[in-house]
Each structure stands twice: as structure tokens, then as C-alpha cells.
Amino acid sequence: MKSRVIVLGAALVACVAFAGNALAQQKGAGKSSITIIKVDATGHAPAPPALTPKAAGSVSSKPVMSVAGKDATGGASFAMKLAKELGDPAKPGFLPGNYVLEVESAGTPAGNLVSDALAAAFFITFTIDAATLKCTIDGNPAFITGGSACDGVGEPACVAPPGLGKCSATLQQVAGNLLGILAHANDPFGARFRIRTNPDTTNCKTGHVIVEATGANPATTTCRTGTVLGVGGVALATLTP
């Protein structure tokens, strides 16, 4: 359980997010945003003449305190903005289809992806609708209404699924309450972001994780089988005059 909780904490979806604190309410602090750069099958930006492609989107987050009488937030919310694919290599975007956001992080704020045995990836699936071209985040099926990990005796209350066509969610909607078992309000986390295709929606769901020390949970997850189409960061400018 400890490794799984750390994984969920590490995957706070935008480098800084916050868990609840039973002793005192914390509003949290800070905001984060990272741009999404489209890549081709080789892992590079589109080939010339697209020498100065625009960013293909962004992922941002901010702390959101839970309020009594309302759905728990898990301490943070996040949102994705993704450009539409227009067929112009200088203005890359994403076609309608099934995708997965991979958030990869060390198990602690001071850890790294190479030496930390708890370094892990957390997956959040989403779709881009063919008719509206809008993105919708998929909630963690275990923690949204009717989920297996909520609404039982001693379990957290289920939360509503993310909004249709909004491409945003709270941490509670994608990770449930597991973060609060080990993390604390104002804990910082860093992460690396990738957007992949999701060719197997039956076996890749929001909430699937891969921990270096213990492997995939569930073992049958296919969330890393998709093609990487975008990465979080910046596209380099001209290297030499």
C-alpha cells in the first residue's frame, strides 16, 4: 500500500498539488503549467518545413481545498488544453480518439527516476470527441459514483465523474483518497508528462500505475503500449545563428 500511495502522490498531475490535513484546513499555494510539444514516431518535432511548430497544448494545476458538504477535491484540480489537429505541421494538435496522459515521477520530492525504487507512472485516460473535438477526462472507476473503493463501510464517499467535454478534474476524481494516507498538505512533487494513444481502453484506465519496485497495478495494464504523441516541456529554438 505504501508504494501505491506514494505513486498517487507523485502523480499530482502538474508538479505541485496538495493533500488534506486532518488537523487544520490548508488552502495550499502556487500554480503550475507545462506546455505539450507534439512529437513524431522518432520522438522529435515534425520534420521540416515545420521548423517552428507551436505548442500543442498545456497541462496546468492549482490547489483546491475540500469544503464540508461538497465533494472532496483531493487537494488539487488540473486541466488540459489541447490544440485541434488542422493538418498544418506548423500548428500541431490532436485528432479525435482515445488517449492517455502518463505522469511519471519519483516517489519523493527529492527522488529521481533512475535511483528511486518507487519511481512510478500514473495514467489518466481521456477522449477527444469526433463531433465536438472536445476533450473529456475519464474518472478513476474505483472512486467515482458506484465505484468499488467508495461508499462502503469506512470508505470515502464517491465523487461525481469529471464533466463531459471539460478536460479537467480534481485529484479525488482520478486518484481517490489514497494520497491522504501518506502525503501532507503543501508537499511538493515533480513530474514528467507524456501523451500517448490508448489503443486498448478495456485494459488501460485512469488510476492504473506502474511502480519500479512492484511493477504494474493491475498487472494487465496496457497504458504504456500506445504511441507517444506529445511531451511536456518546450520546443528548442534555433540552436546556432
Q: C-alpha grid cell for residue 62?
A: 492549482
CA distance 121 to 140: 15
* pLDDT tens-digit series, residues 168-195: 999 889 988 766 555 566 666 668 899 9
Q: Name, in order, each residue with C-beta under 8 angstroms of 134's C-beta and a sequence gap of 6 or more.
A: 128, 165, 167
* pLDDT tens-digit series, residues 199-228: 999 999 999 999 888 899 999 999 999 999
| Other residues' Cβ atoms within 10 Å of the Cβ of residue 203 | 14
- Going from N- to C-terminal start, the domains of the chain cover 2-232
Q: C-alpha grid cell for residue 206?
A: 485512469
Entry pTM: 0.83
